[in-house]
Amino acid sequence: MALVVQKYGGSSVADAGCIKRVAQRIVATKKAGNDVVVVVSAMGDTTDELIDLAEQVSPLPPGRELDMLLTAGERISMALLAMAIANLGHEARSFTGSQAGVITDGSHGKARIIDVTPGRIRSALDTGSIAIVAGFQGVSQDSKDITTLGRGGSDTTAVALAAALDADVCEIYTDVDGIFTADPRIVPTSRRVPRISYEEMLEMAACGAKILHLRCVEYARRYGIPIHVRSSFSQKEGTWVVDTIEGTAMEQAIISGVAHDRSEAKITVVGVPDKVGEAAAIFGVLANTEVNIDMIVQNVSAASTGRTDISFTLPEADGQTAMAALNKVKEQVGFESMRYDDQIGKVSLIGAGMRSHPGVTAKFFGAIADAGVNIEMISTSEIRISVIVNQDDVDGAVAAAHAAFDLDSEQVEAVVYGGTGR
Amino acid sequence: MALVVQKYGGSSVADAGCIKRVAQRIVATKKAGNDVVVVVSAMGDTTDELIDLAEQVSPLPPGRELDMLLTAGERISMALLAMAIANLGHEARSFTGSQAGVITDGSHGKARIIDVTPGRIRSALDTGSIAIVAGFQGVSQDSKDITTLGRGGSDTTAVALAAALDADVCEIYTDVDGIFTADPRIVPTSRRVPRISYEEMLEMAACGAKILHLRCVEYARRYGIPIHVRSSFSQKEGTWVVDTIEGTAMEQAIISGVAHDRSEAKITVVGVPDKVGEAAAIFGVLANTEVNIDMIVQNVSAASTGRTDISFTLPEADGQTAMAALNKVKEQVGFESMRYDDQIGKVSLIGAGMRSHPGVTAKFFGAIADAGVNIEMISTSEIRISVIVNQDDVDGAVAAAHAAFDLDSEQVEAVVYGGTGR
């Protein structure tokens, strides 16, 4: 008998009809001889509606109370799901994050999981019940206050429970059939990736593929939990995210896919004195504002001026914060000016085989050049090459790279490529 | 410094505007130098909407899951209320029933409070916070599952917390100005009762006055908690429900008010053999169906037949259940037939002074007779006289009794006389 953890997002439980359909899928998994633990998000628009209510009573609600409010969302969906399962003749018991033993730190709205003690879940399974657990929430270790985990929280709850329960697989249900070699809206011939390693998936997630959150993949890699990303709207196999698959992957395709991200902006700090500690000063200022920096490029210093330019990318949402912080230290650091550009896009080629195939980089740049696209910045890791291009050139660069690495399939699969919020 | 427990019902927190107004009232109480604990119901229609969702996924949802679902309602209202208070510059912390230490038995949907251990509430008060507690809910002692308390549950939560915290007063906010001498919709000249004893209030509640639930008054009497019933829409004093007030009440008015109830039906069992154990047999059958019997009248046996009639009243909702149960034992008990009448109403005169004023009963019956109303059944306690009349005669009987005992005021107070569900 296997232990399966399934996670259903908000769109999978958007209304009573969806909940009943999900209940049937859960019961089918149980009937197939598995122990089943289900992690569920709030129904469709519930979270937005609750946030709207909060805004009506307070412009800046305290984090503790906002978490208390928002956790009502999963409470509703999980109870309804348990009822729908009971109505199919199977015993189901719903548990809040706190009841399921999801222990977190006290950072309301973005709490981190410290420990998982799923004693009540285990007991429910032992009596033959299906356990339904509220995603996205936990209880703080110190204050015993209710917390929420922030973006990607429900996926992370599922993987964390799978790890604590030593589950055989963590199935993440979403509204697409899995991970694709590129966004099918840009590349209609993109293919579903049947298997991908944690490392590649991390790079995909970090480079804009919104299906799985970085955080959940990091957790799964740390504990070796196989993730099966699949659609709640079909019975198809999805994408397995597993430990290294180099042995088999080498034989087939060394490139997993092409990811893109339009949500970043680029800041160039112009005329930075070329001396020790300047970069540290700039990025120290940015770290204090809690802005996440992505790519960094420092030009070769011009010998005549003794000055250099430093460019970096960051989430567009943090752009103004970063500009303001840097402006404050302009005199102190001694740079000349700044340039801000939010009309950029990042295109990334990801593949575990890259490290042993030196021709990959050249082929990637060549394909982008052939598409007439100018590269503004470059960043590489052992299993990824990313370039920054003009935002309007993203689609062309993605399609060109996808074709160059023979990722196109002959059959177009009909999917919607979208992200989940929680 | 006094400790005040306030309870706000669903209509007092129906929307964001209501919540903000309630927050101001709470802050005013805090600013006046009190420690404040607030018990809150779910917003307006939330409970009905959640029940509607439950019915969409299951015709008979398990009690455990229905409780899990419904408790989302108070979670939402209490978090919003805490935010609204924080927005006024005061610290507020919301607590679920479980967090507030409301320990119950395991009867989902109608749990009884076993113990209250409000350690976290006390800590919140000690740090100067206003504590907001979800009404209507608790946690079962044995299974640690979430429970709901059933009808009157939020009022009972408030009184139970007031008792456990040794509060100075429990204020129950509703949409009327207090307890009235009769339903103002029937008797426009009815007056607000400034003070009433627990015993009289219990009789009022049992006889159809819907402002306070029997259960909450019973709890308050047991622990000697003064209840102040008042309107959340005005600053007026309401009605104080307190320990015996005979000393003062005797001087002023011995009759507290006239209550009525149209929700009962009458069953008459005709031709019951007049021998030992017959009544026990009939009411034993009814007890097994968990039907609550109210008034019982047995006619004097007719010597010629050796048979008698037994009439009793019960909630109209239980009428068919009771008829079916009795029909099954018709042969065994040996009665001749049954009559069912749901066109009845109960009119009750309540007053602590009644026991020492023998003329009260005669005056009450006289007033009803003068109004041309026929009395079908009579039942009395030390502080109450109830009569069953035709449903169409209820208004006339109430008005006649109200006038006969000089309860009419000269000034008509504008109120809406309604009940609260939870």
Question: ipTM of this model?
Answer: 0.80
From the list A220, A115, A201, the residue with the least C-alpha distance to A162 is A220
pLDDT band at A31 (very low <50, low <70, confident <90, very high): very high
Query: pLDDT for A165-182, tens place per residue?
Result: 999 999 999 888 899 999
Reply yes or no on whether the pLDDT at A14 is more than 50: yes
* pLDDT tens per residue, range A381-399: 878 889 999 999 999 999 9
* CA separation for the pair B334, B346 (Å, rounded): 30
Q: Please report which residue ranges of A32-108 form alpha helices under DSSP H.
A: 46-57, 63-87
Considering only A176-180, B251-255, B311-315, which range has the smallest mean pLDDT?
A: B251-255
Residue A157 is predicted with a pLDDT of 97
Angle at B363 between CA B359 and CA B365, to 5 degrees: 120
Kind of pairing, strands A137-140 and A92-95? unpaired
Rg, Å, chain B Cα set: 23
Residue B251 in this model has a pLDDT that exceeds 80: no
Question: Which amino acid is present at B369?
Answer: A
Q: Report residue B409's pLDDT band, with 50, 70 and 90 as the boundaries.
A: low
B49 vs A contacts (CB less than 8 Å): none
| CA-closest candidate to residue A43, choices B399, B56, B389 | B56
In a domain, B52, yes or no: yes
CATH code, B74: 3.40.1160.10
Q: Does A14 touch chain B (CB under 8 A)?
A: no
Q: Say if residue A148 is in the same domain as residue A45.
A: yes
CATH label of the domain that carries residue A352: 3.30.2130.10
Using alpha carbons, select from B136, B144, B143, B72 the residue that is nearest to residue B109: B136
Structure-block tokens of residue B194: 């400034």
CB atoms within 10 A of CB B411: 6
In a domain? residue B46: yes
**DSSP at A180:** B
The Cα-based distances of B124 to A125, A292, B266 in angstroms read: 37, 36, 51
* Segments forming the whole domain that contains residue A335: 248-422
pLDDT at position B355 is 65
Give me the helix-helix angle, A214-223 and A153-164, nearest 10°. 10
Residue among B356, B378, B351 at smallest CA distance from B365: B378
Q: What is the pLDDT of residue B82?
A: 98
Helix axes B214-223, B153-164, angle to 10 degrees: 10
pLDDT over 70, % of chain A: 92
Q: Is A408 a residue whose pLDDT tops 90?
A: no
**Pairing of the two strands B146-148 and B137-140:** antiparallel
Rounded-to-integer distance, Cα A190 and Cα A408, Å: 5
> Which of A61, A86, A120 is nearest residue B83 as measured by Cβ atoms?
A61
Say yes or no: A410 and A267 in one domain: yes
Amino acid in position A350: I
Last residue of one domain, picked from the residues A146, A174, A202: A174
Between β-strands A92-95 and A35-40, what pairing exists: parallel, antiparallel or unpaired? Answer: unpaired
Provide the number of CB pairs (under 8 Å) joining chain A to chain B: 114
pLDDT at residue B412 greater than cutoff 70: no
Maximum pairwise Cα distance, chain B: 81
> Does A63 reside within a domain?
yes
**Residue B112, pLDDT above cutoff 80:** yes
Is residue A185, in this structure, part of any structural domain at all?
no
**Does B321 map to a domain?**
no
Among A239, A201, A240, A243, residue whose Cα is nearest residue A222: A243
What is the distance between the alpha carbons of residues A247 and A175, in angstroms, rounded to a whole number?
30
CA-to-CA separations, A288 to A285, A292, A325, B276, in angstroms, rounded: 5, 10, 9, 89
Q: Does residue B135 carry a pLDDT above 70? A: yes
Residue A13 shares a structural domain with residue A152? yes
What are residue A168's DSSP bridge partners? none
Nearest partner of B5 among B139, B135, B119, B123, judged by Cα: B135
Q: Is the pLDDT of residue A355 over 70?
A: no
Single out the residue in A174, A194, A214 at which a domain terminates.
A174
Distance CA A84, CA B123 (A): 40
Where residue A85 falls among pLDDT bands split at 50, 70, 90?
very high
Task: Determine the pLDDT at residue B346.
Answer: 94
Sheet holding B257-261: strands in order across?
B257-261, B344-350, B384-390, B377-381
**B4 pairs with which residues across the strands?**
B36, B169
Q: How many domains does chain B have?
A: 1
Q: Examine residue A131 and state whether it is found in any structural domain, yes or no.
A: yes
At A384, is the secondary structure helix, strand, or coil?
Answer: strand
Q: Do the beta carbons of residue A38 and residue A100 sit within 8 Å?
A: no
* Same domain flag for A272 and A412: yes
Rounded CA gap, B417 and B422, in Å? 16
Inform me whether the C-beta atom of residue A76 falls under 8 Å from chain B C-beta atoms. yes
State the average pLDDT over residues B44-49.
Answer: 92
Which has the minimum average pLDDT: A130-144, B104-118, B170-184? B170-184
Of A50, A64, A87, the CB nearest to B93: A64
**CA dist A356 → A361, A364, A404 (Å):** 11, 15, 18
pLDDT at B415 exceeding the cut of 50 = no
Q: Is A377 helix (H, G, I), strand (E, B) or coil?
A: strand
Mean pLDDT of the residues in chain A: 89
> How far is Cα B184 from Cα B402, in angstroms, rounded to an integer?
11
Give me the pLDDT at residue B413, please.
Answer: 42
Asked if residue A216 belongs to a domain, the reply is no
Instruction: Identify whether residues A115 and A21 lie together within a single domain.
Output: yes
Mean pLDDT (whole number) for B267-286: 86
Spatial CA neighbour of B388 closest among B397, B379, B377: B377
Residue pLDDT, tens place only, A189-246 = 899 999 999 988 998 888 877 788 889 999 999 999 999 999 988 889 999 999 865 5
Which residue of chain A is at minimal alpha-carbon distance from B96?
A68
The nearest CA of chain B is from the CA of A86 a distance in Å of 7
Q: What is the largest CA-CA distance in chain A?
A: 80
| Interval B333-341 mean pLDDT | 92
Please tell me the distance in Å from B83's CA to the nearest CA on chain A: 5
CB atoms A94 and B65 under 8 Å: yes
pLDDT at B245: 58
Averaged pLDDT for residues A75-96 = 98
For A322-348, the pLDDT digits (tens) are 999 999 989 888 899 999 999 999 999
Same domain membership, residue A121 and residue A256: no
Q: Is B21 on the interface with A (CB under 8 A)?
A: no
In a domain, B7, yes or no: yes
| Whether residue A303 has pLDDT greater than 80 | no
Predicted local distance difference test score (pLDDT) of residue B184: 86
Q: What 3-state DSSP class applies to B418?
A: coil
Q: Is residue B23 very low, low, confident or very high in pLDDT (cuts 50, 70, 90)?
A: very high
Out of A58, A72, A81, the one facing B83 most closely (by C-beta) is A58
Domain boundary among A155, A174, A193: A174
Distance CA B385, CA B365 (A): 10
The proportion of chain B whose per-residue pLDDT surpasses 70, expressed as a percent, equals 92
Could you give the residue ranges of the DSSP H alpha helices within A1-148?
16-31, 46-57, 63-87, 119-126
Alpha helices by DSSP H, B6-57: 16-31, 46-57
Same structural domain, A295 and A407: yes
Pairwise CB contact (< 8 Å): A80 & B19: no
Burial readout B38-67 (b: 16 or more C-beta within 10 A, e: otherwise): bbbbbbbebbeebeebbebbbeebbbbbbb
